[in-house]
Amino acid sequence: METRTLGKDFCVSAVGLGCMGFSHAYGAPVEEREAVRLLREAAQMGYTLFDTAEVYGTQEDPHANERLVGKALAPFRNHVAVASKFGLRFDMESGRSPYPLIPDARPETIRRSVEGSLKRLGTDHIDLYFQHRIDPEVSPEEVAGVMADLIREGKITHWGISETDEEYLRRAHAVCPVTAVENRYSMMARHYEKLFPVLEELGVGFVAFSPMANGFLTGKYGKGEKFDEKTDYRASMPQFTDDGIDKNQELLRLLSDMAEKKGATCAQISLAWMLCRKPWIVPIPGSRKPQRMEENAGAASVRLEPSEIKALDEALDHMEMSEVFGGTRVKKRA
């Protein structure tokens, strides 16, 4: 797979792998042996960016995903980059699904988090360490100061911010240069495009999570889909409802038509659409199937002309779409 550079010098595969779904939010966790096999197969395909977080797990094992990623990638550690995240916990006692989010980016919390993540990942450093959500009670300067310390100590080599806005990014970047932001971005969620000029100005990369609107843009879902309400967030996502399927028919046709024109799949077009916009965008779709991982990796070879991207954008600007899942509720910590 071709590579891309995020920030000043963070070189990774053009398409990364979001690892959350192996342990969290997309149904029952994958059995460990099978998940290890799949992650290793992804590394052999050419994926070099693997994205996890300390909170991707279950009530029984809240940190399952980091341990899984660490175990699976141990044989490839010198050839891959691991991104993890700090500064967030789930309110698993709320009785709600998806679990509400509680941000906590106090320096002492970050210190505990990084040590725990290093141990679970079985590594002496984290390649890209994201603040998972902004904590309104801790300034960006204070968080960035801790990141600068962790870089000097060799515990992380790069850092980033997830779901950031322009002001927070600028203030943090002025203290310790940010390598990438990781924000939600897809054909159905384009509100962060307003950040693109700022990212270009600062030389910050963009890691796109949920780049296929939680899998909806693969075109593989129809009416009557059933998801486990306890373990699968898609059960509460509006794009997967029967009404959502109806409202999104024009969007699915747009994808299908372009896919046929390019000899690609709908999933590949949804990824190529962002890959061909900017050289510093890296999507991180998740998948549990090797054929889907291979399909997603192949999106890096699909070329859309500027005129084709413009036509897609104009169509997206004017078509009816359903609401799309935009994340779960954020609560203040007690």
Residues with catalytic annotation?
Answer: 56
Per the CB < 8 A criterion, the answer to whether 114 and 126 are in contact is yes
> What gap in Å lies between CA 69 and CA 63, rounded to an integer?
11
Tell me whether the omega of the peptide bond preceding residue 98 falls within 30 degrees of 0, making it cis: yes
- Pairing relation of β-strands 10-13 and 3-6? antiparallel
> What gap in Å lies between CA 130 and CA 181, rounded to an integer?
8
Q: Is the dihedral of CA 290, 163, 276, 234 positive or negative?
A: positive
How far out from the chain centre does Cα 324 lie? 16
> What gap in Å lies between CA 319 and CA 329, rounded to an integer?
28
| Residue 121, C-beta contacts closer than 8 angstroms, at least 6 positions apart | 52, 66, 67, 69, 70, 82, 84
> What gap in Å lies between CA 292 and CA 265, rounded to an integer?
11
Per the CB < 8 A criterion, the answer to whether 53 and 39 are in contact is no
Dihedrals φ, ψ of 205, to 5°?
-80, 170
Token couple for 74 = 């141990």
Q: Which residues pair with 6 in a beta bridge?
A: 10
Calculate helix-pair angle for 266-275, 290-298, nearest 10 degrees.
40
